[in-house]
Structure 1
Amino acid sequence: MLIVRATKKLLDRVGGPDLGEDEESTTVLGQWYATALFWKPQVALLVNESTLLPVLMPLAPAATLLDRIPDQIATVLAAHGVAEPVIGDEVRRMTDGVRVGKTANRSVVGIMNEFSHLAEVHRARTPAPDLLGMAMRLAATPCGPLYRRHVRPDRELHAFLNPWQGDGRHRRTP
């Protein structure tokens, strides 16, 4: 099951929260945070809680946004060079259902706000922004919460999906 923690402005577009108190994500990457960027056309920004990996995608039609998220995450993971079996497994875990809840981690919301501002700067420089290319640029941004680990979301993603840590201890199997 995929859990999306949405800001109020996105919840107003896709409907209220339906996340149960005891429900947990079954995906390897865990929960995603999301907000709406009121550009023309409107865009949804998602940030992974574990790796801070950003994903940008068209918001419209808002009624189908939650159904489209797994495919867009898969596209971004593929662009980052994640192995196809890992992507396939992650998408399968997401298709067990998508639940929406309110944001709960202020640090991730802060990073999402920073990415929103940076995306606006990138957008101002490009007449027709490429959302995938912009997400890739944002993923190379140093993030304070990652300074003691891998500094940037793109590096954190690869380290997180690596089943072995540098000291030989088993970390997790994707």
Structure 2
Amino acid sequence: MLIVRATKKLLDHTHPPRAVEGDHDTTLLGPWYATALFWRPRLALLVNERTLLPVLLPLAPARSLPARVPDEIATVLDAHQAPRAFIANELRHMQDCRFATTANRSVVGIMNEFTKLAEIYTDDSAHPNLVTLSLRLATTPCSPLYATNVSPDRELAALVGAAGSGKGVDGVQHSE
């Protein structure tokens, strides 16, 4: 199950399926945070809690957003050259996508920073390439990552490398 922790403005706009008490994320990347960007065209910004990896996608049609989130995440993971097996495993765990309210103010702050940077990077472009913009945002140094890999793209690479090496994200060798 994929848990997307969304801002009130996104929840009010999309009315997605809601997580209930006891639901937990089963993906390796963990929960994602999301907000609505009421630009033209309207967008949704997702940020992964563990890696701070950003993903931008069209908000419209808003009702189908929960169904589109897994594929959009997979597209950005592929653009970051994550292994296909890793992406397939994440997609398998994202088949059930539910939304909850935000719980981590630090990630919400990072979403706000990415929003500001995305506005600057788009430079009034009416139709920016959202994957390219997501990749560019992922190179941004983020203070919660200073003690580890500094930027979301590097944090993702380290996490995927640990997963592919047979070691867990805790760095300990795990057998299957």
Q: For this structure pair, what is the TM-score category when the shorter chain's length is used for normalisation?
A: over 0.9
State the partner residue of 1:162.
161
Report % sequence identity.
Answer: 55
Task: Give the match for residue 21 of structure 2.
Answer: 21
The answer (yes or no) to whether the contact 1:11–1:17 under 8 Å persists in 2 is no
Q: CA deviation at 1:123?
A: 1.5
User: CA separation of 1:172/1:60 partners in 2, compared to 1, >3 Å: closer, same or farther?
Assistant: farther
Checking the alignment, whether the CA contact within 8 Å between 1:5 and 1:104 is kept in structure 2 is yes
Q: TM-score when scaled to structure 1? A: 0.92
Residue 45 (structure 1) aligns with: 45
Match in the other structure for 1:60: 60
Structure 1 ranges of 4+ moved more than 4 A? none
Give aligned pairs, total. Answer: 170
Alignment partner, residue 128 of structure 2? 129
Is 142-151 or 127-136 further displaced after alignment?
127-136
Q: Give the TM-score of the pair, scaled to structure 2.
A: 0.91
2:28 is paired with a residue of what secondary structure?
A: coil
User: How large is the RMSD of aligned CA atoms in angstroms?
Assistant: 1.8
- Give the stretch that moved more between structures: 123-132 or 35-44: 123-132
Distance, in Å, in 2 between the alignment partners of 1:169 and 1:11 is 36
C-alpha contact (below 8 Å) 1:18/1:99 kept by paired residues: yes
- Measure, in 1, the Cα distance between the counterparts of 2:142 and 2:118: 15
| Deviations, residues 1-21 of structure 1 (Å, cap 9, x unaligned) | 000000011001111672112
Q: Distance in 2 between matches of 1:161 and 1:17?
A: 29
Deviates further, 44-53 or 120-129: 120-129
Q: Which residue in the other structure is 1:140 paired with? A: 139
Residues 171 and 54 (structure 1), Cα distance of their counterparts in 2 relative to 1, 3 Å cut = farther
